[in-house]
């Protein structure tokens, strides 16, 4: 039986270790040719001379799969352009982009340096935007030339982006931003056959080692859903957010309007406050922020 990703070319960013590596191996096992991107940085984004991408390519090839390494930085326009060009030059096509690369600089907000804010925003938000724009430009050109496109983008958010996480103000804001990017990209790219979804994964990797007290499941548990989202088989699914941890997949239902009140004229501040208190009492409480003290 042909694999789910047979004939597709898939880029996975940050695929030298952790979740990205698991996704790359899973796509290759389902027949895809994989571009394994990884700049090779430390847990906090500091430079590391060795890109682990080549080792993942060797693993895929040893299993009989097809892969090529890309050691560039996806937060630079050149890095993102080279990445898409490598897929097209090597395999003649691009079908799926999995935006996954990232790192943490955790601090409580009062202690958070502006540089640590910028670095985390840059790797997650700009690091999603640039490859996404590059891939979408290719798919738009393909569609305009009359060639069929079944483009897929899988973005990587986080529970921190969905609910917030104490000590991760920069990361939570970046991961929430990825959700907004996902919704807009899904709407803008629908016209040329490209679907854009986001996952909020949870897995034991270098990123979560020591940071999360409870033992998390394997990254390999997350990849089957990513492969499906990145394949032809997910046709019709776009603009959605799915949480995935171990054997559990949850569709996130996101922001939706709750109780509302309308005033014929402009509210006074006191009236607005009274109305807001009544509405808040009738509304669902928000999901708790990870790590927040129980009041």
Ligand X SMILES: NC(=O)c1ccc[n+]([C@@H]2O[C@H](COP(=O)([O-])OP(=O)(O)OC[C@H]3O[C@@H](n4cnc5c(N)ncnc54)[C@H](O)[C@@H]3O)[C@@H](O)[C@H]2O)c1
Provide the annotated active-site residues: 158, 171, 175
User: Beta strand pairing status for 248-251 and 241-245?
Assistant: antiparallel
Looking at residues 108 to 137 of the shown chain, list those that interact with ligand X (rule: CB under 6 A).
123, 127
* CA–CA gap between residue 290 and residue 277 (Å, rounded): 25
For residue 206, the minimal CB distance to ligand X (Å) is: 4
Residue 46 or 263: the one with the smaller Cβ distance to ligand X is: 46
* CA–CA gap between residue 242 and residue 263 (Å, rounded): 37
Among 4, 10, 20, 131, binds ligand X (CB under 6 A): 20
Q: H-helix or E-strand containing 153? A: strand 151-156
Sketch the per residue contact string, 140 through 159, with ligand X: x for CB under 6 A, - otherwise: ----------------x-x-
Q: Using CB atoms, what's the residue nearest to ligand X?
A: 18
* CA–CA gap between residue 194 and residue 201 (Å, rounded): 22
Site for ligand X contains 208 (CB under 6 A)? yes
- The count of residues interacting with ligand X (CB under 6 A) is 33
Looking at residues 212 to 271 of the shown chain, list those that interact with ligand X (rule: CB under 6 A).
216
Residue 41 or 153: the one with the smaller Cβ distance to ligand X is: 41
* CA–CA gap between residue 268 and residue 191 (Å, rounded): 45
Part in contact with ligand X (CB under 6 A); list of ranges 10-18, 111-119, 142-150, 185-193 = 10-18
Part in contact with ligand X (CB under 6 A); list of ranges 94-102, 105-113, 131-139, 277-285 = 94-102
For residue 123, the minimal CB distance to ligand X (Å) is: 5
For residue 294, the minimal CB distance to ligand X (Å) is: 23
* CA–CA gap between residue 120 and residue 104 (Å, rounded): 6
For residue 17, the minimal CB distance to ligand X (Å) is: 4
Site for ligand X contains 207 (CB under 6 A)? yes
Three-state DSSP at 24 gives: helix
* CA–CA gap between residue 193 and residue 186 (Å, rounded): 10
* CA–CA gap between residue 159 and residue 157 (Å, rounded): 7
DSSP 37-86: E---B-TTS-B-S--THHHHHHHHHHTT-EEEEE---TTSHHHHHHHHHH
Among 54, 186, 203, 244, binds ligand X (CB under 6 A): 203
Looking at residues 31 to 90 of the shown chain, list those that interact with ligand X (rule: CB under 6 A).
37-41, 45, 52, 73-75
- Assign residue 31 a region (left: φ > 0; alpha: ψ between -120 and 50; beta: otherwise): left
Q: Position of tokens 């394949």?
A: 231
Site for ligand X contains 139 (CB under 6 A)? no
Residues at the site binding ligand X, with contacts judged by CB under 6 A: 13-14, 16-20, 37-41, 45, 52, 73-75, 100-103, 123, 127, 156, 158, 201-203, 205-208, 216
């Amino acid at each position: 039986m042909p694999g789910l990703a047979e004939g597709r070319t898939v880029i996975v960013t940050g695929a030298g270790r952790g979740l990205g590596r698991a996704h790359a191996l899973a796509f290759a096992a389902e027949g895809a040719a994989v571009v394994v991107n990884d700049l090779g940085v430390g847990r906090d984004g500091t430079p590391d001379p060795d890109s682990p991408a080549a080792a993942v390519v060797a693993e895929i090839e040893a299993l009989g799969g097809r892969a090529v390494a890309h050691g560039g930085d996806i937060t630079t326009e050149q890095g993102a352009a080279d990445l898409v060009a490598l897929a097209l030059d090597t395999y003649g096509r691009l079908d799926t982009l999995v935006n996954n690369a990232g790192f943490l600089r955790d601090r409580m907000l009062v202690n958070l340096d502006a540089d640590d804010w910028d670095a985390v925003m840059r790797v997650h938000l700009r690091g999603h935007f640039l490859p996404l724009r590059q891939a979408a430009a290719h798919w738009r050109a393909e569609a305009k030339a009359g060639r069929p496109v079944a483009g897929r983008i899988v973005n990587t958010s986080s529970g921190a982006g969905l609910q917030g996480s104490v000590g991760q103000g920069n990361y939570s804001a970046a991961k929430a931003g990825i959700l907004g990017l996902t919704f807009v990209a899904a709407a803008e790219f629908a016209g040329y056959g490209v679907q854009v979804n986001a996952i909020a994964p949870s897995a034991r990797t270098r990123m979560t080692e020591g940071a999360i007290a409870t033992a998390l499941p394997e990254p390999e548990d997350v990849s089957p859903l990513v492969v499906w989202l990145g394949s032809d088989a997910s046709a019709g699914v776009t603009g959605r957010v799915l949480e995935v941890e171990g054997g559990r997949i949850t569709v996130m239902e996101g922001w939706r309007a709750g109780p509302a009140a309308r005033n014929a004229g402009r509210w006074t501040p006191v009236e607005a406050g009274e109305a807001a208190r009544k509405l808040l009492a009738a509304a669902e409480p928000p999901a708790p922020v990870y790590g927040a003290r129980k009041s």
